[in-house]
Amino acid sequence: MADVSDWLDGSRFRLNPGKTEVMWLGSKFCVDRITVRDISVLSVSIRVSDSARILGVVVDSRLSMADHVSSLCRSVLLPASTTLLRPVVRSITEDAAKIVVQAFISSRLDYCNSLLCGIAGNLCCRNFSRCRICQSRKAHKSAD
C-alpha cells in the first residue's frame, strides 16, 4: 500500500485510509478460510468487510450481487422516494403520473444493471425476480 500511496502522491493525489475498504473476493469456501480480519494501511487499521459500495453498486465478497439487489430494492421501496414524487404526481394527470413513477423506478433499476448479466443461473433468476417485484410494488403504491 505504501507503493500505491507513493504513486498517488507523485500524481498529486492522496490516499485516504479513512475511506479505504478491504474485501476478500472468492468463493464462500475460500473466503471463510482466510483468517486475516484487520489490515494496516499507512498506520491505520482497516477492518476487512464483506461488501463495499463502489460508484453506487454494492459488491459482495462472493460477487453474487445479492447485496446490490437488496440495496436496490430498499432504495426503490423507501417511503422517502414516494415523498419526493408525491407533489409532482398530484399536480399532473393520472397517465402522466404513471409515466413519471415508472421513469423514476426504471432509472434506479437500470443503473449498472449490466453487472447482473452472467451471474450463475439460479441466482440471476432470483435477483431478477426480486427487481421485478420491487418495480411492481412501487408502481402500485405510487399510482394510488
Q: 31 and 67 share a domain? A: no
Which pLDDT tens digit goes with each residue over 80-127? Answer: 556 777 787 778 888 887 787 777 777 777 777 777 776 655 555 565
Which range marks the domain in which residue 137 is found? 63-144
CA distance 118 to 126: 13
Residues 39 and 110 in one domain: no
What's the rounded Cα separation, in Å, for the pair 124 and 88? 34
Give domain status of residue 55, yes or no: no
0.75 exceeded by pTM? no
Q: Note whether residue 99 is domain-resident.
A: yes
